[in-house]
Structure 1
């Protein structure tokens, strides 16, 4: 067996490369850990300074990513690669990757736009991305994280957000809850209005101002549709919605007011 490659000079070279590789790996591990610690420290400092919850995660992501890139360059330098040349190669590679990942870069640019124009902030109830509704938990570099009503975690790419209509349900502080109730054509409209208003007064989340009203919205095929729009705090939107839906039905039942369902009358004619 030929063991010439184990000569003293080759062994020195192997040991030198092994040491460099081990050192580079160690720099990566320690450097990434330090980068995460620095980002976490800055996050806590920003939180203590009162910085907006929407801005803080975005800046933490930028700091963490930037530091990790520097650590990566330092590790590559330990392997004997010329940093200047490596940066040039990295720049060309980044350009090629950027062309291939235009969508991802677009999401980043959209994230910057969302951070600048602030159509929503963390904690707002929004409808974004063509129909996703939930509470904003985080505005990250590439996506917005929502918590839906049924506690699902939805990540909407920022590019999808900015290319669609953004509805900030919490944006004004108070919101009108659109509700429609159908009653039978034989039922009293005035009595039904009184019942709906009475339920609204009992609801703990409905505000006194602006006052609640009830109007006849339309004459349907099977029902007279009454519309009401009580106002509440934005964070109580769903509480108010579900309270009214349940308790108006119960009140209608007590008062003998019917809620009709679609039906057809079929007349049979005997042909002699």
Structure 2
């Protein structure tokens, strides 16, 4: 019984001495951890303020700040475990193996991550731009690391993976200040072409939202079997484009009716086999 007490007291004494010998490393490591976390927070705030003052893109600012934040945290963690006396070489090897395994299992996500970086760096569009991509016309709401958040005209939210988005065709309707509407009116052969053109030009010149520079154009686009196609090309600022498009259609239809110019309806051609049926 006494031998057990002696051995227990001996073990406690040994462990206590080891703890006292190890405590400076332990205290130092936790001091580094606490001070490091506080310093990382200050550095992150400072970097964000500097990038905001230099008018960097908000998405790029957030992306770079997040990358810097996690890089500093990883560096702090490695410093912390090294101060505890843990060998970092084996730990780094384990992290490398885990990174390789994760990379192989998340190839699609890495593709989206790379696509997000390309979008942020080369800026084919920005937040607030109206774009057409993957068969969708919508306004860019947010550019995230893996996906881009779009809002359609009927207020639906669409998430498009950045990998597909960066590798596909993107039409940016907001990159330039103004835009041209491409309209076609099909009038009958009995109509007066010059009168029809003058009516359209008069409508375009009296619409304050139609730009006069570049000058709007009206010309004969095609002569079909059933109609004369008139091409109408008015220019408008991006914010007025939709209104100019619809207003031109409405005003021309009303003016044609008053002038007795008939808009030729679409004539569907049937093959002989269909007509026989």
Cα distance change of structure 1 residues 99 and 146 upon mapping to structure 2, 3 Å threshold: same
Cα distance in 1 between the residues matched to 2:184 and 2:77: 60
Aligned residue for 2:208, secondary structure, equals coil
In the TM superposition, 1:105-254 aligns within 5 A as 105-128=110-133, 130-254=134-258
Aligned residue for 2:257, secondary structure, equals helix
- Aligned with residue 64 of structure 2, among 59, 62, 69: 59
Moved more, 118-127 or 38-47: 38-47
Please report how far the alpha carbon of residue 86 of structure 1 lies from its aligned counterpart in structure 2 after TM superposition. Answer: 5.2
Please list the CA deviations of residues 166-188 of structure 1 after superposition, one character each: whole Å capped at 9, or x if unmatched: 22222222221111111122212
Residue segments in structure 2 that go unaligned for 5+ positions in a row:
1-32, 271-277
| Greater fraction helix | 2
Aligned residue for 1:228, secondary structure, equals strand
Please report how far the alpha carbon of residue 260 of structure 1 lies from its aligned counterpart in structure 2 after TM superposition. Answer: 2.2
1:102 maps to 107
Please report how far the alpha carbon of residue 227 of structure 1 lies from its aligned counterpart in structure 2 after TM superposition. Answer: 0.8
Moved more, 231-240 or 103-112: 231-240
Query: Do the aligned residues in 1 keep the contact of 2:218 with 2:230 (CA within 8 Å)?
Result: yes
Cα distance change of structure 1 residues 188 and 146 upon mapping to structure 2, 3 Å threshold: same
Moved more, 189-198 or 232-241: 232-241
Residue segments in structure 1 that go unaligned for 5+ positions in a row:
1-26, 267-272
Pairwise CA RMSD: 4.1
1:8 maps to none
Cα distance in 1 between the residues matched to 2:223 and 2:239: 33
Cα distance change of structure 1 residues 106 and 209 upon mapping to structure 2, 3 Å threshold: same
Please report how far the alpha carbon of residue 216 of structure 1 lies from its aligned counterpart in structure 2 after TM superposition. Answer: 0.8
In the TM superposition, 1:10-29 aligns within 5 A as none
Cα distance change of structure 1 residues 209 and 53 upon mapping to structure 2, 3 Å threshold: farther
How many pairs are equivalent?
244
Cα distance change of structure 1 residues 240 and 265 upon mapping to structure 2, 3 Å threshold: closer
Query: Do the aligned residues in 2 keep the contact of 1:61 with 1:141 (CA within 8 Å)?
Result: no
Cα distance in 2 between the residues matched to 1:71 and 1:249: 71
Indicate yes or no: 2:45 matched with 1:50: no
TM-score (norm 1): 0.70
Cα distance in 2 between the residues matched to 1:259 and 1:173: 33
Cα distance in 1 between the residues matched to 2:240 and 2:73: 42
Cα distance in 1 between the residues matched to 2:186 and 2:136: 28
Higher-Rg structure is: 2
Cα distance in 2 between the residues matched to 1:144 and 1:161: 8
Cα distance change of structure 1 residues 257 and 71 upon mapping to structure 2, 3 Å threshold: farther
Please list the CA deviations of residues 228-261 of structure 1 after superposition, one character each: whole Å capped at 9, or x if unmatched: 2211222332232222223222222332322222
Please report how far the alpha carbon of residue 139 of structure 1 lies from its aligned counterpart in structure 2 after TM superposition. Answer: 2.0
